[in-house]
């Protein structure tokens, strides 16, 4: 590398250190150690190596940078500001302050240039694998001879914590299996954890582990620009599988009294230490100082970066003329196209009943796959049971990325993070499936999807005790309440094939994550649920059996228990009782309705209010009141056939009718 360039990159690295120290110190909160230790890496990537256009952070063929070690967010913010993204120095100064664009951990759509919401360690590794996988699919679909539309790489920066978290192992194993030759995982190997030296808790041979996954592994001095140019240049030219770079760094590099220790990890250095560090590094004492030469360097390279997109746009125009059908598909995927007659198409879908919720959903998925080119999905080794396979399309395999079905293996946590990554390509509508109880493995990934409004869909099956003989280890009890508590997540528990159809309409229209929770057992089709989307599912709750006069009882139910509620209502009406039955498939959608509509469903004199659901009662009293009766699960289930479990736990017409009459 040219000596003048190395001098300039060293100035950029010094600037990154200064900005990180000052921002953390001013906030009196944050993690200065990682940004200081990896400053040269930031200078090299953003100063020399990345193919990007900071003036358009969403340029389709850009290189992506995912900071899995999200606590080191000032590293990323400093790099983005210097490189010319829409992140001002004033926002750097407002690090970790209310409503700033520089939150404690990076957030997608909140800060220009941030590719994924990260912070919970290891999540970003899974996101990066998902993004890389998505880019491989896009290349297989759209790259043509003379039209290499998708050539970008994904760079992920992870620390010791990310590498130790199990999710990164799952995701890395999958990436090696798929031989993702566009993924580079950079391990900030500084041998220090938040709680002390790494050897106190970890002594594995990480390089050998990654070699066993099928990755190419490199060692790299984190302060040698020539070595960086050689390694990253070789990877750029001839990568054939995922690459794991062990970047040897010193946490808090430059701090006279804290470098190389956990004291530089999770708290400010202190005013005196910052001053001494700047003196030791030859940096001005001025806060948030950026040399004019650093500003000029990035300003001079900006036209070249903008030209990359101009060239690509010209390539895409020529591609569109030569391959108009592919160009049309590209546009549909990019805009997440939904046909105007989609609801009508699903109503005309022939679904034989009675049918399990999971099987009805598979019929819907296969119908959708024919009209939504952006729809891709997979399962955690359960596609034959959670019924997520799109039967007209192949499975994605290494070196064969033309498929639309994924076999994620028994890797639920990684599956959740990778599906988030697939969404982050902005070209796919991803879904994934597993048993509902195993959503617990995925919870952190689901939470980040909800926080950042990732448009992903979860097909969770085997939703209650009525899955039967597999017993309480697999029977969901608390999961409904748990996921209903998550902001921005729509949880939908359809009662039959009619509501399954409309659940998918709801999920596709909502710009955020949706969990569709489905039965293993067959369910009857209910005539009252065959209502247009706008009069049923879109409202979150709606009346399926209207009372003839002021009701003695109002029954609220979801999923497989709705048919039971209707049967109970029929029995009670034969006894001279007036009964209203309400289907409540999605509480979150119901809460978005007008006060007048909500009052029409849950307000006024409704007699004895009753919730019937084979899950915990937590949350139901918001609708049935403190004096309402919750016919729900009070503990875990048992291993037995579903009919026996219904008798055991009181989910029968006789048992419920008796309870209601006793409470009348």
Average pLDDT over residues 408-413: 96
Structure confidence by residue, pLDDT tens digits, 269-319? 999 999 999 999 999 999 999 999 999 999 999 999 999 999 999 999 999
**Among the listed residues 451, 455, 433, 429, the one whose alpha carbon sits nearest the alpha carbon of residue 442:** 433
**What single DSSP character describes residue 638?**
-
Cα(565)–Cα(409) distance, rounded to whole angstroms? 38
Cα(519)–Cα(651) distance, rounded to whole angstroms? 15
- pLDDT confidence of residue 661: 95
CA angle 289, 226, 283 (to 5 degrees): 20
The single residue of 107, 412, 547, 613 carrying the catalytic annotation is 412
| Burial of 1 from C-beta contacts in 10 A (0-12 / 13-18 / 19+) | middle
The answer to whether the beta carbons of residues 495 and 585 sit under 8 Å apart is yes
**Among the listed residues 104, 23, 26, 125, the one whose alpha carbon sits nearest the alpha carbon of residue 418:** 125
- pLDDT confidence of residue 340: 97
Based on DSSP, count helices (H) and strands (E) in the chain, helices before strands. 26, 20
Structure confidence by residue, pLDDT tens digits, 491-501? 999 999 999 99
Q: How far is CA 386 from the centre of its chain?
A: 20
Structure confidence by residue, pLDDT tens digits, 354-395? 999 999 999 999 999 999 999 999 999 999 999 999 999 999
**Among the listed residues 46, 39, 8, the one whose alpha carbon sits nearest the alpha carbon of residue 292:** 8
**Among the listed residues 344, 583, 369, 333, the one whose alpha carbon sits nearest the alpha carbon of residue 455:** 333
Per the DSSP assignment, residues forming a β-bridge with 581 are 545, 555
The answer to whether the beta carbons of residues 583 and 535 sit under 8 Å apart is no
pLDDT at 436 over 90: yes
Among this protein's residues, is 397 annotated catalytic?
Answer: no
- pLDDT confidence of residue 104: 97
- pLDDT confidence of residue 664: 78
Cα(68)–Cα(187) distance, rounded to whole angstroms? 10
| Most distant CA atoms of the chain, gap in Å | 93
Tokens of residue 623, six digits: 């609708």
Q: In 472-542, which ranges are continuous DSSP H helix?
A: 479-484, 497-509
Q: Taking the CA of residue 417 as centre, how many other CA atoms within 13 Å lie in the half-sphere pointing to its CB? A: 32
Cα(573)–Cα(264) distance, rounded to whole angstroms? 71
| Burial of 520 from C-beta contacts in 10 A (0-12 / 13-18 / 19+) | buried
Sorted by where each starts, the structural domains of the chain and their CATH numbers stand as 3-305 (3.40.50.970), 342-529 (3.40.50.970), 534-663 (3.40.50.920)
Q: For the chain, what percent of residues have pLDDT higher than 70? A: 100
**Among the listed residues 480, 481, 435, the one whose alpha carbon sits nearest the alpha carbon of residue 462:** 435
When pLDDT is cut at 50, 70 and 90, the band that residue 567 belongs to is very high
Residue environment code for 576-615, b if the CB has 16+ CB neighbours within 10 A, otherwise e: ebbbbbbbbbbbbbbeebeeebbeebbeeebbbbbbbbbb
Tokens 């590794």 found at = 125
The answer to whether the beta carbons of residues 73 and 115 sit under 8 Å apart is no
Tokens of residue 659, six digits: 């309870």
CA angle 413, 72, 161 (to 5 degrees): 40
Q: What is the residue-averaged pLDDT of the chain?
A: 97
Tell me which H or E stretch contains 661: helix 653-663
Average pLDDT over residues 609-637: 98
**What single DSSP character describes residue 223?**
T
Structure confidence by residue, pLDDT tens digits, 593-614? 999 999 999 999 999 999 999 9
Tokens 């796919």 found at = 428
Structure confidence by residue, pLDDT tens digits, 28-61? 999 999 999 999 999 999 999 999 999 999 999 9
- pLDDT confidence of residue 663: 85
**Among the listed residues 344, 390, 386, the one whose alpha carbon sits nearest the alpha carbon of residue 363:** 390
Cα(127)–Cα(566) distance, rounded to whole angstroms? 44
pTM greater than 0.95 (yes/no): yes
- pLDDT confidence of residue 265: 92
- pLDDT confidence of residue 176: 98
**Among the listed residues 177, 126, 134, 181, the one whose alpha carbon sits nearest the alpha carbon of residue 156:** 126
When pLDDT is cut at 50, 70 and 90, the band that residue 533 belongs to is very high
Q: How far is CA 489 from CA 318, 449, 589, 660, in A?
A: 41, 8, 10, 33
How many residues can be counted in the chain? 664
Cα(186)–Cα(199) distance, rounded to whole angstroms? 20
Q: How far is CA 159 from CA 186, 194, 249, 554, in A?
A: 8, 11, 11, 55
Structure confidence by residue, pLDDT tens digits, 54-89? 999 999 999 999 999 999 999 999 999 999 999 999
Contacts (Cβ under 8 Å, ≥6 apart) of 104: 29, 30, 71, 73, 96, 119
Q: Which of 249-253, 262-266, 441-445, 497-501 has the lowest mean pLDDT?
A: 262-266
**Among the listed residues 80, 72, 120, 125, the one whose alpha carbon sits nearest the alpha carbon of residue 101:** 80
Cα(167)–Cα(417) distance, rounded to whole angstroms? 8
Cα(434)–Cα(379) distance, rounded to whole angstroms? 6
């Amino acid at each position: 590398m040219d000596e003048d360039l190395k001098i300039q990159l060293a100035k950029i690295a010094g600037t990154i250190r200064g900005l990180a120290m000052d921002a953390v110190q001013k906030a009196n909160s944050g993690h200065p150690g990682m940004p200081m230790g990896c400053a040269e890496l930031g200078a090299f990537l953003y100063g020399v190596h990345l193919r990007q256009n900071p003036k358009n952070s969403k340029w389709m063929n850009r290189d992506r940078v995912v900071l899995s070690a999200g606590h080191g967010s000032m590293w990323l913010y400093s790099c983005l500001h210097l490189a010319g993204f829409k992140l001002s120095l004033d926002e750097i100064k407002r690090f970790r302050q209310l409503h700033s664009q520089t939150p404690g951990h990076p957030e997608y759509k909140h800060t220009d240039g941030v590719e994924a919401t990260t912070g919970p360690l290891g999540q970003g590794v899974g996101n990066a694998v998902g993004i890389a996988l998505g880019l491989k699919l896009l290349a297989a679909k759209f790259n043509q001879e003379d039209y290499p539309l998708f050539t970008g790489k994904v760079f992920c920066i992870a620390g010791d914590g990310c590498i130790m978290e199990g999710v990164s192992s799952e995701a890395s194993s999958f990436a090696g299996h798929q031989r993702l030759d566009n993924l580079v995982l950079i391990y900030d190997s500084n041998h220090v954890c938040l709680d002390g030296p790494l050897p106190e808790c970890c002594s594995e041979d990480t390089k050998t582990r990654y070699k066993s996954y099928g990755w190419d592994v490199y060692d790299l001095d984190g302060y040698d620009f020539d070595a960086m140019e050689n390694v990253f240049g070789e990877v750029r030219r001839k990568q054939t599988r995922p690459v794991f770079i062990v970047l040897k760094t010193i946490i808090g590099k430059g701090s006279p009294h804290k470098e190389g220790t956990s004291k530089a990890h999770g708290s400010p250095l202190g005013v005196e230490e910052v001053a001494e560090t700047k003196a030791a590094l030859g940096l001005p004492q001025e806060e948030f100082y950026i040399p004019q030469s650093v500003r000029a360097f990035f300003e001079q390279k900006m036209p070249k970066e903008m030209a990359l997109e101009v060239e690509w746009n010209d390539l895409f125009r020529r591609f569109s003329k030569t391959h108009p059908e592919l160009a049309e598909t590209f546009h549909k995927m990019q805009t997440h196209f939904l046909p105007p007659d989609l609801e009508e198409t699903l109503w005309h879908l022939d679904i034989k009943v009675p049918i399990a919720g999971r099987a009805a959903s598979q019929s819907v998925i296969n119908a959708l796959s024919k009209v939504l080119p952006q729809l891709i999905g997979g399962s955690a080794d359960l596609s034959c049971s959670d019924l997520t396979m799109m039967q007209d399309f192949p499975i994605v395999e290494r070196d064969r990325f033309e498929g639309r079905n994924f076999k994620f293996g028994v890797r639920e946590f990684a599956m959740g993070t990778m599906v988030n990554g697939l969404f982050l390509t902005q070209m796919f509508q991803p879904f994934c499936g597993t048993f509902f109880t195993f959503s617990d493995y995925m919870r952190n990934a689901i939470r980040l999807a909800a926080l950042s409004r990732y448009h992903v869909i979860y097909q969770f099956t085997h939703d209650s005790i009525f899955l039967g003989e597999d017993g309480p280890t697999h029977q969901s009890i608390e999961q409904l309440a748990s996921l209903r508590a998550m902001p921005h997540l729509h949880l939908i528990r359809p009662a039959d094939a009619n509501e399954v159809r409309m659940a998918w309409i709801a999920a596709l229209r909502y710009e955020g994550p949706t969990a569709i929770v489905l039965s293993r057992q067959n369910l009857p089709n209910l005539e009252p649920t065959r209502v247009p989307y706008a009069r049923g599912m879109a409202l979150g709750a709606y009346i399926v059996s209207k009372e003839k006069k002021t009701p003695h009882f109002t029954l609220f139910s979801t999923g497989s228990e709705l048919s039971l509620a209707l049967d109970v209502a029929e029995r009670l009406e034969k006894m001279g009782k007036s009964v209203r039955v309400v289907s409540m498939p999605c509480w979150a959608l119901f809460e978005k309705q007008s006060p007048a509509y909500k009052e029409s469903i849950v307000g006024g004199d409704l007699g004895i209010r009753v919730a019937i659901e084979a899950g915990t009662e937590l949350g139901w009293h918001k609708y049935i009141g403190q004096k309402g009766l919750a016919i729900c699960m009070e503990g875990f289930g048992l291993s037995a056939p579903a009919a026996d479990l219904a008798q055991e736990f009181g989910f029968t017409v006789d048992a419920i009718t008796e309870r209601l009459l006793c409470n009348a």
